[in-house]
Amino acid sequence: MVRTRILGCGTYLPANIVTNTDLSKRIDTSDEWIRERTGIHRRHIAADNEWTSDLAVHAANAALSDAGLKVSDIDLIMVATATPDHTFPATAAEVQRKLGLKRGAAFDLQAVCSGFVYGLSVADAMIKAGQAQTVLLIGAETFSRILDWTDRGTCVLFGDGAGAFVLQATPFDEIPGKKAEGPGILSCYLRSDGEYTDILYVDGGPSSTQTVGKLRMQGREVFRHAVTNIADAIRSVLRDVDLQISDIDWFVPHQANVRILTGTAKKLRIPEEKVILTVDRHANTSAASVPLAFGEGLVDGRIKPGDLVLFEAMGGGLTWGGVLARY
């Protein structure tokens, strides 16, 4: 039997930090409103000459060094992003070029804020099917490029950044009756509901308007679905391996709004000290937020080898899902 292990993690945040107070000088908002409604204090914004692939490469190099592997060990690059460098080729192909990787395959995966959780599930399936041995999965976004900076209801919510995992096939013999023992990805759950394409979307695209477009959101509607769908994802991944909420060491959620996270924690009786929170300093970095949060938990020593970690996300589509892994 083969399991997918998380061998390394790396992150990258652009140098430029924009605070709520900075934003309040440009639009009709306040530090108080943003903190109270979202928990966000500040966000990182990419420089004009920094593209999604540049952020991705920084995170990828950090993840490879954490894993103790060389670029040439990778046989598949997946980039989860809704803000690619170009319509095509895939940003993953740009990353492959910039890393100097001469082998393997590269493609992008589009599930907006759920992109990294979708990516973990796809990487796990590719590894278990024998189609890849060592996968570089990157969540990288420059959402600042698709924001309408005159719309205070959305532009205060997002930031730029990237996070990457190195995932590798590892032989593993399951102990009968102990599905959740041993390192690696233990269960995955993916969902989408296309009925709600109109509550969180970008109003442009190559086939429709031939423009890039700007992000549009009915915030209250998205909020309402988020708490229900995240609870669905968490319950489903746990059910798969006969575990309870109390078995989990760390919850690493997509970081959209601190109220969504505390609301979900309360609903499911998850102790708040088990939830890794970065939304206050990163804002919502879409597909990058899950690996950015995991990376922070690793670097500050909270997440340790052997810990049971539950990743979850929900975003445009609507898409949502969860992945349970032992680090």
Residues of 123-136 as b/e, b for ≥16 C-beta within 10 angstroms?
Answer: bbebbeeeebbbbb
Can you tell me the distance from the alpha carbon of 166 to that of 256, in angstroms, rounded to the nearest whole number?
A: 24
Nearer to ligand UT7 (CB atom), residue 167 or residue 256: 256
Interface with ligand UT7 includes 153 (CB under 6 A)? Answer: yes
Minimum Å gap between C-beta 155 and ligand UT7 is: 8
Nearer to ligand UT7 (CB atom), residue 62 or residue 276: 276
Is the distance from CB of 43 to CB of 155 less than 8 angstroms? no
Closest CA to 234 of 254, 214, 220: 254
Interface with ligand UT7 includes 257 (CB under 6 A)? Answer: yes
Tokens of 251: 């919850």
Q: How many residues bind ligand UT7 (CB under 6 A)?
A: 21
H or E element that contains 43 = strand 42-45
Can you tell me the distance from the alpha carbon of 313 to that of 293, in angstroms, rounded to the nearest whole number?
A: 12
Can you tell me the distance from the alpha carbon of 49 to that of 72, in angstroms, rounded to the nearest whole number?
A: 27
One of 60, 109, 132, 222 touching ligand UT7 (CB under 6 A): 222
1-30 positions binding ligand UT7, by CB under 6 A = 29
One of 46, 60, 113, 140 touching ligand UT7 (CB under 6 A): 113
Interface with ligand UT7 includes 219 (CB under 6 A)? Answer: yes
Is the distance from CB of 286 to CB of 270 less than 8 angstroms? no
Taking the CA of residue 116 as centre, how many other CA atoms within 13 Å lie in the half-sphere pointing to its CB?
33
What single DSSP character describes residue 284?
Answer: B
Interface with ligand UT7 includes 302 (CB under 6 A)? Answer: no
Interface with ligand UT7 includes 317 (CB under 6 A)? Answer: no
- From residue 35 to residue 64, what is the string marking binding to ligand UT7 with x (rule CB under 6 A)? --xx--------------------------
Catalytic residue numbers? 113, 254, 284
Q: Using CB under 6 A as the criterion, which residues of the chain lie in contact with ligand UT7 when the complex forms?
A: 29, 33-34, 37-38, 113, 152-153, 156-157, 200, 219-220, 222-223, 226, 256-257, 260, 284, 315
